[in-house]
Structure 1
Amino acid sequence: MNKSKLLFFLITMYGTILTLSSNSWISMWMGMEMNMIAFIPLMNSKNKTSSEAMMIYLLVQSMSSMMFMFSIMMFNLTMYSMFMNMVTISLLIKLGASPFHLWLPEILTKMSWTNSAILMTWQKIAPLSVLNNMVYDNKIMCLSIILCVSMGALGGLNQMSLRKIMGYSSINHLGWMLSLSKVKNNWMNYLIIYTIMVAMMCWMFHQYNMVHINQVNNMDMTLTEKMTYLMSMMSLGGLPPFLGFLPKWLTIQTLIMDKMYVMITIMIMCSLLSLFYYMRTMTKMMLSFSMMNKWVVTKSNMMIINMMTIVNMSLPLMLIMNMI
């Protein structure tokens, strides 16, 4: 990373921290603007389509920021409910939540895996923290949660691009995070675990230069690498006994305590649908044992692969330690 990119990365982090520590609408808006303006140069890469991704991101984020600023300026002239609805819609656009989600999978196909990981994780913190600070029974939020989990599950079913699959997976997980931000202030726990899972998956995709599903099927991996990829994908789908089941378990418990039975039923059913397209990426690879390299070759990244296996299996390990 050169010095200019390091500077923009630090400004991106500072913008998010400013939004988190703000107690006024204007300073929150300033933090999100700093974050957006500094992230755009980070998106620039050797990929020819990165400039198109930068333009799409700038237009979408500028529109949501203008809407956010306009609603703040009109706060004293409009009804409180109308003001909160406008702020909520502007933040949902910024997050890429459904029904304003179409730009997110499209932009991910034009970015590198590193930038995609930042967009799917760090860039969600500031808008989610602002949404969490809004104490208001918002029906738009409930509708967006249901649309996020359903569109995130259905949108990825027909995709062959791994970046689009990760994009729709991000939309699906965003629905779970929004449900926690609506009910309780523990969405950050979900985001931290989701960040760990996305970082591991994006590292693996970047390391092996994977872009489409058929590339995954034809990869010459050792059994350890295949099992690590399998566990990482299953963890991202929230399948027990892997780490990704923990945040969904906590979310289900929280929503049941708040008696939101219909919403949690829809979310669980859509989560099962999303597991289908996770399994599509690995089924052929796991079944093609004859194509696997029988001689175990020690690679330089085997230590990271083993660490990923330990992290994915940390949920049962924590339960065993708790029982002891």
Structure 2
Amino acid sequence: MSIRNFSFSWSLVVISIIFSLSSPTWFGAWVGMEMNLFGAVALMVGSTKQSVDSVFKYFFAQSFGSSVIIMGLVMGGWVGLGPVMACLVLGLMVKVGAAPFHFWVVEVLKGIRVECMWFLLTVQKLVPLMLVTQVGQGSWALFVCSGLSVLVGSISGVGATSLSRLVGYSSIAHTGWSLAACISGMSVLWFYLLAYWISLTGFLRFSKGDWRLSSWGGEGLASCFFLFSLGGFPPFLGFFGKLAVMVAVVGACPLLLIPLAVGSVVSWGYYLFVVSFSVIQSSLVTTSSSRLLVPMLVMSVPYLMGMHLVL
């Protein structure tokens, strides 16, 4: 992709995000998400047939979610507020890839580059999650999709054999945690997303292509540190992010704690499974990677101290 096209696509994505979040109406937010979709497609498409196939699947899934949202907006003049809100929430669930609408996540990730994986799982979920906090609080659909996403992502990830499947199912589980954070408002959601995005960025930074777990030797201790953070192992960032969500959920929906806790424990299994391959097949102790342990642990201290600001 040329610099001009790259700049135009990123500009369209950024402008659409600002437009959606600042729009006073749902129709304006929908228009912004459609603009965002075209910018994302331009960034993700590559020269290989597999990447084109993945982008088509992503475009289809996002279009379906947008159709559900616009259907809810159109029905607003004939039906009550309840069905309209249900359509809006369900449409947003499709867009973020929450269970049971997670059918597209892994299929899209396995055909795109690592940097596109990061873009899809971070930037592209920002607007839908922000909108969920406005309409989803108290919605039965949000509770169901949150718990189901954590369980589906955790259980399905046990059989992951490649980077795309590992990150894909992990993202479905983290989407469930993000939706649980939405129940308590914007501050808890941002607190959790920041921890997840830092962990995901660090892990993908040390990943080179869609490798197979059976042949991965690891990229040193650094990749394992970020993987521990993704899994929510203490004392890394991911642990404090999940702790904040669980504390916030206690007052809103205590029953949701069951799938959150069960899913988190199950996901530890495949995170440790990946680390074991790295331990067996390569020497993890390298000077450059081991130096990252101290700053990662230091980052957790202000994160722990800042929990009282969002709870």
The two structures have a TM-score, normalised by structure 1, of 0.87
Q: What is the 5 A alignment of 1:1-324?
A: 2-134=3-135, 137-186=138-187, 187-206=189-208, 209=209, 211-217=211-217, 219=218, 225-256=219-250, 258=251, 260-288=253-281, 292=283, 302=288, 305=289, 308-318=292-302
Count residues with an aligned counterpart. Answer: 304
Q: Give the conservation status (yes or no) of the 8 Å contact 1:243–1:311.
A: no
Find the aligned partners of 1:147 and 1:292 in 2 and give their Cα distance. Answer: 38
For the residue of structure 2 that corresponds to 1:281, the secondary structure is: helix
Distance 1:123 1:157, change over 3 A: same
Find the aligned partners of 2:121 and 2:292 in 1 and give their Cα distance. Answer: 19
Find the aligned partners of 1:46 and 1:29 in 2 and give their Cα distance. Answer: 30
Find the aligned partners of 1:260 and 1:228 in 2 and give their Cα distance. Answer: 36
Please tell me the residue identity of whatever aligns with 2:213. Answer: I
What does the per-residue CA deviation read over 1:160-210, in whole Å, with 9 as the maximum and x for residues that have no partner? 01111101111111111111112222212211221111111111113xx45
For the residue of structure 2 that corresponds to 1:282, the secondary structure is: helix
Find the aligned partners of 2:166 and 2:183 in 1 and give their Cα distance. Answer: 26
CA displacement at 1:316 relative to structure 2: 4.9
Find the aligned partners of 1:214 and 1:40 in 2 and give their Cα distance. Answer: 32
- Using the TM superposition, name which of 130-139 and 91-100 deviates more: 130-139
The two structures have a TM-score, normalised by structure 2, of 0.91
Find the aligned partners of 1:89 and 1:150 in 2 and give their Cα distance. Answer: 18
- Using the TM superposition, name which of 93-102 and 186-195 deviates more: 186-195
Unaligned runs of 5+ residues in structure 1 are: 220-224
Question: Which residue does 2:309 correspond to in 1?
Answer: none
Q: Give the conservation status (yes or no) of the 8 Å contact 1:242–1:316.
A: yes
- Using the TM superposition, name which of 150-159 and 40-49 deviates more: 40-49
What does the per-residue CA deviation read over 1:287-310, in whole Å, with 9 as the maximum and x for residues that have no partner? 45xx5399x7x8xxx4xx467534
Distance 1:260 1:293, change over 3 A: closer
CA displacement at 1:19 relative to structure 2: 1.1
CA displacement at 1:259 relative to structure 2: 5.5
Find the aligned partners of 1:285 and 1:166 in 2 and give their Cα distance. Answer: 16
Unaligned runs of 5+ residues in structure 2 are: 307-311
Distance 1:128 1:55, change over 3 A: same
Find the aligned partners of 2:299 and 2:284 in 1 and give their Cα distance. Answer: 30
Find the aligned partners of 2:303 and 2:284 in 1 and give their Cα distance. Answer: 35
CA displacement at 1:54 relative to structure 2: 1.2
